[in-house]
Structures are given as C-alpha cells and as structure tokens.
Structure 1
Amino acid sequence: MYGTPHTVSDVMTRTVVAVTDGAPFKEIVRAMRSWQVSALPVLDDAHRVVGVVSEADLLPKEEFRDEDPDAHTRLRRSPDLAKAAARTAGELMTAPAVTARTGDTLAQAARAMARGGVKRLPVVDESGVLQGVVSRSDLLSVFLRSDEDIAREVRREVVATLFPGQVERVRVRVREGVVRLTGRVRDTTLVPVAARLTRAVEGVVDVDCALLGPPRRVDLDPDLPDAPHAPGERPARPA
C-alpha cells in the first residue's frame, strides 16, 4: 500500500512471559494462571522460539489421568496420549511455532494467524529471538483510526498520486471507516486502481467508488458544405 504501513512491532506487546523447553508441567500451569494467558512461547537456551505450549497441550494430562485407554483409543489418540505422559514444555509443545517477524505488516500477521488457526503469535527478530507477542486484538487496533485521518491519507497518497491536477475534482468522504470517492476524472482506467489502493489504506472498512469519466459533449462540428451541383443547376432549397 501507499504511505507507511504499521508493522507488527508497532502494535505488539513487548512484555511477554515464556518458558524454557525444560520447564516442568506445573510451572507451565502456574505461569498461565499468573499471567492469564492460554499459551506460552517455548524458548531454547539462546532465547529462540522453538515452539508454543497451550492449554490444549496440557488438557490430555487430566483427560487420561485415571483412564486406561483401549487399543482403538491408543491408535486414534496417540499424539494426545504422548502429551498426557509428557513432563516438560519441550515434550508438550507444538513445534515448529507459527511466528511473526517484527517488520511484518499487520496483513501478513493476520494471514499467518488464519493459516495457523491461532489467536496470537510470538514475535521474533531475524535470529528467531523472542521480541514480544501479537494478538488478534492488536491487529484490529488500526480500525480505531479516525475518519479524518483516513481521509487525509486517501487524498494525499491515492488521489494526488493517481490524479495529479485533478485533486479538486475528486471528493473523499469517510464515515465509520467506509470511504466514498465521487467526482470526475479524465482517465477512467485508473478508477479500479483508486478503489484498490484506497481499500489498502489501514483502517479502511470498505470503499464505495463512484468516480466517473468526463461528461459527454454534444458534437459541435460545423455543418458540412453543400454537395456540388451541375452547371446551370440551382442548388436545392431546404425543405
């Protein structure tokens, strides 16, 4: 998109709790309860994120605590049974972890969450070292941007760029994040581009693009001359 998009480092939470891969089961539970989170990044000795342990990884311990599973269950639920027998974060965690980089755009982080089916992502630097965590609510914070701020960016980064010299002809109105573009422009092939770039502006909920081309003009060419006539023949009089 045009302008300067927010990155994950702009919205992430920098104070984040994590556990080492050797952390015992009860320490994980205590950390989740104390910090009121449902998942924790798991780090190696160099503070690199190697996995994530969640409440879902811990629950098999309780589910199979007093049950002797039959052969069918052992075959069908073998991953859960392995977690039920696990004692440390390294044995419990889901790996590799789905992560975001500090320089990722919010759209990239949102796609990573959707693909991974997760609600939050550990944020790492180029070396994989933990820098913070970004959640769904963090990504949605861009929609708190004011309508006035959105309108200014659309005028500056979209309208002025695509339609130089025609800025006064294009009206930009924003209400509750919905942008409406109206007016006339010389090159209508740029109208879909304007709609797409406007939609890419952070905080935009939707775009109503009603830009039109220049008005049609009536043919003002002068009348054609009379047709030539034979010598001695008078021109026909108009009816």
Structure 2
Amino acid sequence: MRYCRIKDVMTQEVVRTGRETSFKQVARLLSEHRISGLPVVDDAQNVVGVISETDLLQHQAQREERHGRRHVRLPRLTHAARTAERKARAGTAEHLMTRPALTATPEQYVTEAARVMREHRVERLPVVDDKDHLVGIVTRSDLLRVFLRTDDELRRDVIDQVTRGVGVPRHAVDVTVDAGVVTLRGHLERREDAELAAQIAAHVDGAVAVADRLTHRPDAVRAHHAGGPSGHM
C-alpha cells in the first residue's frame, strides 16, 4: 500500500528562533508570520525546543497568578508546576520553550505524524534530517491536505493500489469515488481478496470512507469442491 510521507506535505521554509530570542520578539514572529508556533534551534540548527501560543499565554497567566498571591508561599513539587513556574519567569525562548521537542523525519508516513500529534496533543512537528538538522515543519493542516485530492486522482490511485495489491486484472474491480467516498464493486474469487481490496482502498491517501460492494465465491461452495464428493462406506 502507498502512504503519503511527511516530505510530501511539510513546509520547507521554516520560521525559527534561537535560545536568546526575547519573549516580545517571539510574539512578534508569531504575529507577523501568522503562525501559532515555531521551533527553537541552536547554532548548528538542531531543534532544542518548540514554542507555541499556548506557551506565551501560560507565561502571562502564571505571571498574573504570581502577582495576585505574591505574599503567599505554596509548595510546587510536580513537574508540571515547575514547568509552569519556569515559563512564568521566562524572558527568552530558552526558558519559554517546551522541551524536549517532538520531531519527525521526512521519510515517516503522515499517519505516524498524525498519531504522535494526537497522543501528545501538539499541532506541529519540526522535521529533522539524519543529523538532527531542521529541514521543515509539518502541521495538522498539512496532514489534512491529503484529503484535498480530486475524486479522479483518488480513483486512479485506488484502482492501481487495489489491483496490484490483490493481484487481479484492473477490470475485476469497479471503483467510483464521490466526495472522497470510495465504492468498490465487482466479483472476486476469494473472500480474502475482497476483504484485502477494501482494506487497501481504505488506506489510500485521501479516502474518506469505503463502501464495499464486492462479492466473492461462498466459502461453503469452495470448501465442498476442495474436499471432493463425500460418501458412506
């Protein structure tokens, strides 16, 4: 099966910043470029962290909280609490960023990136090469681009992937696509082939859903013929 790779959808021109960039400069970068986050890199262009709008808002919220109860001392023992306190005092990207940064590689599949974003609740992943140098960035909106393919493009890809994956002639499976919904029709010899065809179609980039209308030879009939005639002694 063919899956789209991160290198196919990532943005190569990445807005980035360094460790010593001030809070106001970071906020200005996000505003000027109309982005919601950016990677922080060292002098070798290795990713050392990521800053998002959430980090900036947390900084401001924690400052207000600290000022509102500056005469009260409460224990802060959890990792999350220590991180929040650090960001409240942050004046530069070094202390404002979230670290370590979750990253991806150009050859990873978009499905892997989507899983990482969902599990860690992040909206972007810096993309690094084999030397950990920043080469791009992929966002949730980039991953959704696979669903912008036309129905004709998707249909051609489904036909190619299904017929090659199952090993049947192109005319054996009729494929139609409407608004990203793939419908499969035709008759295949084995149930396993019909099930495999539907699975392959469902994993083609851009397929919203699959309506499986394929038929196959009944298992009972095949089992009877395979075993030969039965009789009594």
Same fold (TM over 0.5): yes
| Matching residue of 2:115 | 111
TM-score by length of 2: 0.83
Instruction: In structure 2, list runs of 5 or more residues that go unmatched.
Output: 222-233
Matches within 5 A, 1:27-176: 27-63=25-61, 64-65=63-64, 66-67=67-68, 68=70, 70-72=72-74, 74=76, 77-165=81-169, 167-176=170-179
CA distance in structure 2 between the aligned counterparts of 1:88 and 1:52, rounded to whole angstroms: 13
Once the two structures are TM-superposed, the CA of residue 128 in structure 1 deviates from its matched residue by 1.3
Work out whether residues 165 and 197 of structure 2, in 8 Å CA contact, stay in contact via their aligned partners in 1. no
Shift of 1:61: 3.8
Q: Out of 11, 30, 48, which is 1:13 matched to? A: 11
Q: What secondary structure is seen at the aligned counterpart in 2 of 1:198?
A: helix
Counterpart Cα distance in 1 of 2:71 and 2:10? 42
TM-superposed deviation, 1:213 = 1.8
Alpha-carbon distance in 1 for matches of 2:184, 2:195: 11
Q: Provide the TM-score with structure 1 as the length reference.
A: 0.81
Structure 1 spans left out of the alignment, 5+ residues: 217-239
State, as a whole percentage, how many aligned pairs show the same letter.
39
Q: Give 1:73 deviation, angstroms.
A: 7.0
CA contact (8 A) 1:163 1:185 kept: no
> Does the alignment pair 1:196 with 2:199?
yes
Show the counterpart of 1:222: none
Alpha-carbon offset, residue 147 of structure 1: 1.3
Matched residues in 2 for 1:106 and 1:10: separation?
9
Task: Flag the structure with more relative contact order, 1 or 2, with Cα contacts below 8 A and sequence separation at least 6.
Answer: 2
Q: Greater Rg, structure 1 or structure 2? A: 1
Q: Which residue of the partner structure matches residue 188 of structure 2?
A: 185
Deviations 1:152-203 (A, max 9, x none): 22222212441424x4232111111111111211112221111111111111
Equivalent AA in structure 2 for residue 201 of structure 1: V
Q: Kindly tell me: are residues 61 and 211 of structure 1, through their superposed partners in 2, closer, same or farther at Cα, counting changes over 3 Å?
A: closer
CA contact (8 A) 1:51 1:95 kept: yes
C-alpha deviation, 1:116, in angstroms? 1.7
1:208 to 198, 211, 214: 211
How big is the alpha-carbon RMSD for the aligned residues of Structure 1 and Structure 2? Answer: 2.1
More divergent stretch after superposition (192-201 vs 147-156): 147-156
Moved over 4 A (4+): 73-76
The answer on whether the counterparts of 2:38 and 2:52 sit within 8 Å (CA) in structure 1 is yes
Cα distance change on mapping 1:85 and 1:69 into 2, 3 Å: farther
Q: Decide whether aligned partners of structure 1 residues 69 and 50 sit closer, same or farther in structure 2, where only a CA change above 3 A counts.
A: farther
